[in-house]
Amino acid sequence: MKVSGRFGAGPLSDVPAEVERAERLGYDAITTSETKYEATTRWTLAAHVSTRAEIGTSIIIAFPRSPFVMAQMAWELQKSTGGRVMIGLGTQVKGHNERRFSSGTWEAPATRMEEYILMMRAVWNTFQTGAKPEFEGRFYNFTLCPPAFNMGPIDVPPPKIFISAVGPAMTRVAGRAADGLFLHSFTTEKYVREVTLPELAKGAQQAGRNLSDIEVSGGGMMALGNNDAEIEEQLLALRQPISFYGSTRTYLNVFDTHGLGELGLMLHDMSVKGEWERMVESVPLDVVREFAVASNYDDLPDVLAKRMDYATRVAFDAPSDTPEDEARLKDLIRRVQAI
pLDDT tens-place string over residues 218-263: 988 999 999 999 999 999 999 999 999 999 888 899 999 999 999 9
Neighbours of 308 (CB within 10 A): 23
Same domain, 136 and 76: yes
pLDDT band of 289, cuts 50, 70, 90: very high
Same domain, 140 and 287: no
| Residue 184 within a domain | yes
pLDDT tens readout for residues 32-46: 999 899 999 999 999
| Residue 307 within a domain | yes
Residue 95 has a pLDDT of 86
Residue 97 has a pLDDT of 85
Alpha-carbon distances, residue 206 vs 54, 58, 200, 213, 217 (angstroms): 29, 26, 10, 14, 21
pLDDT reading at 80 higher than 90: yes
Residue 251 has a pLDDT of 86
Neighbours of 13 (CB within 10 A): 8
| Residue 141 within a domain | yes
In this prediction, residues 169-186 reach a mean pLDDT of 96
Give me the helices (H) in the chain, please. Answer: 15-25, 39-49, 67-81, 94-99, 109-129, 168-177, 189-191, 197-206, 228-237, 239-246, 252-257, 261-272, 276-281, 285-291, 300-307, 323-337
| Residue 251 within a domain | yes
Same domain, 302 and 280: no
Residue 249 has a pLDDT of 85
Same domain, 270 and 286: yes
Q: How far, in whole angstroms, is CA 115 from its chain's centroid?
A: 19
pLDDT tens readout for residues 189-209: 999 999 999 999 999 999 999
* Beta strands 85-90; 29-32: pairing state: unpaired
Residue 220 has a pLDDT of 86
User: Which residues form the domain of 168?
Assistant: 2-221+297-337
pLDDT tens readout for residues 256-276: 999 999 999 999 999 999 999
The answer to whether 164 and 59 are in contact (CB under 8 A) is yes
Residue 219 has a pLDDT of 81
pLDDT tens readout for residues 323-332: 999 999 999 9
pLDDT reading at 134 higher than 90: yes
Residue 180 has a pLDDT of 97
Residue 93 has a pLDDT of 79
* Residue bearing the bigger pLDDT, 160 or 185: 160
| Residue 113 within a domain | yes
Q: How far, in whole angstroms, is CA 77 from its chain's centroid?
A: 19
Same domain, 195 and 91: yes
Average confidence score pLDDT of the chain: 95
pLDDT reading at 304 higher than 90: yes
Domain count, the chain: 2
Same domain, 252 and 140: no
Same domain, 191 and 282: no
| Residue 247 within a domain | yes
pLDDT band of 98, cuts 50, 70, 90: confident
Same domain, 249 and 323: no
